[in-house]
Structure 1
Amino acid sequence: MKIAAKSTKRGLAVGVIALTALSLGSGVAMAQDDAVDISLISAPFGTGSYVMGSALEEISKKNDTGVRITHTESPGFVFNIKKLDKEPDLKANTIVGSGGGVQGLAKAGAEPFDKQYDGLKLIANYNLNSSWLASLDDDIKTLDDLKGKKVAVGRRAQINWAIQPVAILQNGHGFKDGDVDIQYVGTKESVAALLDGTADAAIVGGYIDPVSNRMMLSPQTIEFLASGRKPNHLEWGADNVTKAREAGISMANVTIPAGIDPSISEPMDGFADSVAWMVAPEFPDDVAYKVTKLILENIEQFGDYQATGKLMSPEGMIYGWDIEDIHPGALKAYREAGLID
């Protein structure tokens, strides 16, 4: 059973212990000489995941929690999973950027993976990505209207912007090969294709906190909506999302809130995929516990580094995951915080 928001929220005992000791003559805080050094590999430079990884590194070095995180970029989440598999010595001291969707594909050995990979364990979600289709054609208002049409999505390896939406169309809604002309062009390119008329529908979306029902639209979606055109937003449907998940593509049901743009006047049944910090099962329990506590106790600071950080919430850190998918050390921290019974 996937973890959703608890109906009764319990307060987190949040306390940040400031480092006040200064090095003699240096005017800077003393280093955590006895802290455990942890590596974090995230995603390409300039992405939201890269910025959030840098934020976690800086927060870890500002707080005397017993862990010191060093963050570097990587080519992406698929690379991260393959790297831990090829270099097993890293499993005991490395956090990676990952997520539910890419984890499901890795464990199944489905494209873009070349074999089955062992599953990783959750430390915390730092984003939840949600996307849907929009059209400028007045005759395209539902998924049924897409038959025989050109639909532009992200590149083939993009989980949230291509693989999951196509899975909903095919495994959820039931379109067969050839029913819809899927064009894998990229996120920004898909919106451009819709605006210039070379696509009948395109992928749009953003980042959501299903606990507070707040959402932040992605840059290409904001650019598209600022064009002054009047789009129709196509609802995925809760049943279609569930069917796609049952077919093996990991995702969670969410509701896209009304009012995030004037063109979205009613809530829509959609999906969300976790964008998360994860570790191998070999990662030490006590270190996972300290890292999770660090995030929980400093969660409000992430918004200072990245706008999507303002969407982080304690409940959202575990949204969409089964308890057995959470690292035991992290699970201890969540139970202490009253987020999991």
Structure 2
Amino acid sequence: MKTSSISKRGGFTAALVASGVVALSLGGARAQDQTEISLISAPFGTGSYVMGSALEEISKKNDIGVRITHTESPGFVFNIKKLDAEPELKETTIVGSGGGVLGLAKAGDEPFDKPYDGLQLIANYNLNSSWLATLDPDIKTIEDLKGKKIAVGRRAQINWAIQPVAILKDGYGFTDDDIDIEYVGTQEAVDALLDGTADAAVVGGYIDPVSNRVMMSPQTIEFLASGRNPHHLSWGAEQVTKAREAGISMANATIPAGADPSITEPLEGFADSVAWTVAPEFPEETAYQITKMILANVDQFGEYQATGKLMSPEGMVYGWDVEDIHPGALRAYREAGVIQ
């Protein structure tokens, strides 16, 4: 009996060892099957950096066979140039970019030194919109800005300078002789308006055009809390369309009345996507799985960044033509009913 008991324990131990070997083998197989993807976003501390970190964390919590590792970068222009300079990264890298900056890249316009191949959408994670505000009661429309000083962001800032200036020039036909545009920076533009050294300044924020939710940018919040009496200038849908047709990528969008108490009427303007994009060489199945994961967890992004609360399935593709969405992502959107 004693010998038999020892024999049973030995058999049980052997079985445990064997099952452990099998488990380790399966675990190793799963690790080998997992696809490793890099994400480069924007400088540390920016909203894009935080959202990139959120996507990495969400990928770790969801077993989809894809692991995303996120790192900061100098910015969207750098990201596009990096993929061009290192084509071996195209199958394994997601980059932060957006419709406006990609339009400039494809055209080879500043700040780019040549035309660059286009990238394709995985998902928008923000939609940025900006417009002009004034404290001068005599300035009621954009046309009233002739002969005035307008403070905008720095020259390389897509949403806060390049797109607004394009609407002024291509949408309204203003020349450098008609208006004095000062490229000073977003906070500096608001400061110039408050201290009277500018007649109008760029303000704005982030929107979900599906739900009409708006979240003002930090410098805009500061401006609106100054106790002054601002007047917000509507760009006009026709003028936005003219600027787009002239070569600046942006989508028509409307800031609803009531987004701030000082916004008493809808503002016809634009939205520019801030997005995760990939090269056409990026694997279709990987793009499909990542997009499905984002759709399934779209409500989680608000836990990482306030602007993440504006994400919605429909907003994830807003402003993009179907042919500019990666085929794998497009399959996920069609399965979810976001795109027909």
Q: What is the TM-score with the length of structure 2 in the denominator?
A: 0.91
Q: Could you say which residue in structure 1 is the equivalent of 2:55? A: 56
Whole-Å separation in 2 of the counterparts to 1:94 and 1:179: 44
CA shift digits 1:44-72 (9 cap, x unpaired): 11111000000000000011011100000
* Match status 1:335 vs 2:339: no
Q: Which residue of 1 aligns with 2:207?
A: 208
Name the aligned partner's letter for residue 144 of structure 2: D
State the distance in 2 between where 1:35 and 1:215 align. 38
Give, in whole Å, the separation in 2 of the partners of 1:313 and 1:287: 21
Are 2:331 and 1:306 equivalent residues in the alignment?
no
Q: CA deviation at 1:134?
A: 0.3
* 1:32-181 map, 5 Å: 33=31, 34-181=33-180
Q: Which amino acid aligns with 2:59?
A: S
**What residue is the counterpart of 1:19 in the other structure?**
none
| Alpha-carbon RMSD | 1.0
- Secondary structure of the residue that 2:90 maps to in structure 1? helix
* Correspondence for 2:3: none
Following the alignment from structure 1 to structure 2, what is the Cα–Cα distance between the partners of residues 261 and 326? 33
List alignment gaps of at least 5 residues for structure 1. Answer: 1-29
Paired AA for residue 192 in structure 2 = A
1:35, 1:275 → 2: CA distance?
28
Question: Equivalent residues in 2 for 1:176-187 (5 A)?
Answer: 176-187=175-186
Quick one: which amino acid aligns to residue 261 of structure 2? P
Q: How many Å separate the matches in 1 of 2:280 and 2:308?
A: 26
Equivalent-residue separation in structure 2 for 1:54 and 1:35 (angstroms): 19
Which structure has more RCO (C-alpha within 8 Å, separation ≥ 6)?
1
Query: Percent sequence identity over matched residues?
Result: 81
- C-alpha deviation, 1:279, in angstroms: 0.2
Stretch moving more, 228-237 or 137-146? 137-146
Alignment deviations for residues 250-269 of structure 1 (CA, whole Å, 9 cap, x no partner): 00011101111111011110
Alignment of 1:232-311 (within 5 A): 232-311=231-310
Cα separation, 2, equivalents of 1:194 and 1:35: 53
- Greater Cα offset, 153-162 or 136-145: 136-145
| Deviation, structure 1 residue 273 | 0.3
Kindly state the Cα deviation for residue 140 of structure 1 after the two structures are TM-superposed.
1.1
Correspondence for 2:23:
none
> In the aligned structure 2, how far is the partner of 1:180 from the partner of 1:126?
34
Using the alignment, how far apart are the partners of 1:189 and 1:46 within structure 2?
A: 19
TM-score by length of 1: 0.90
Q: Which amino acid aligns with 2:178?
A: D
Distance 2:124 2:138 in 1: 38
1:245 and 1:144 map into 2 onto residues whose CA distance is 19
Tell me the number of residue pairs that the alignment of Structure 1 and Structure 2 aligns: 312
SS of 2:300's equivalent in the other structure is: helix
Which structure has the greater CA radius of gyration? 2
* Deviations, residues 249-296 of structure 1 (Å, cap 9, x unaligned): 000011101111111011110100000000000000010001101100
Q: Deviations over 1:196-220 (max 9, x none)?
A: 1111100000000000111100000
Amino acid at match of 1:197: G
Higher helix proportion: 2
Counterpart of 1:304, as a letter, is E
* Separation in 2, partners of 1:100, 1:268: 21
Q: CA deviation at 1:177?
A: 2.1
- Alpha-carbon deviations, 1:208-256, whole Å to 9, x = none? 0000111100000000000000011010000000000000100001110
Q: Which runs of 5+ in 2 are unaligned?
A: 1-26
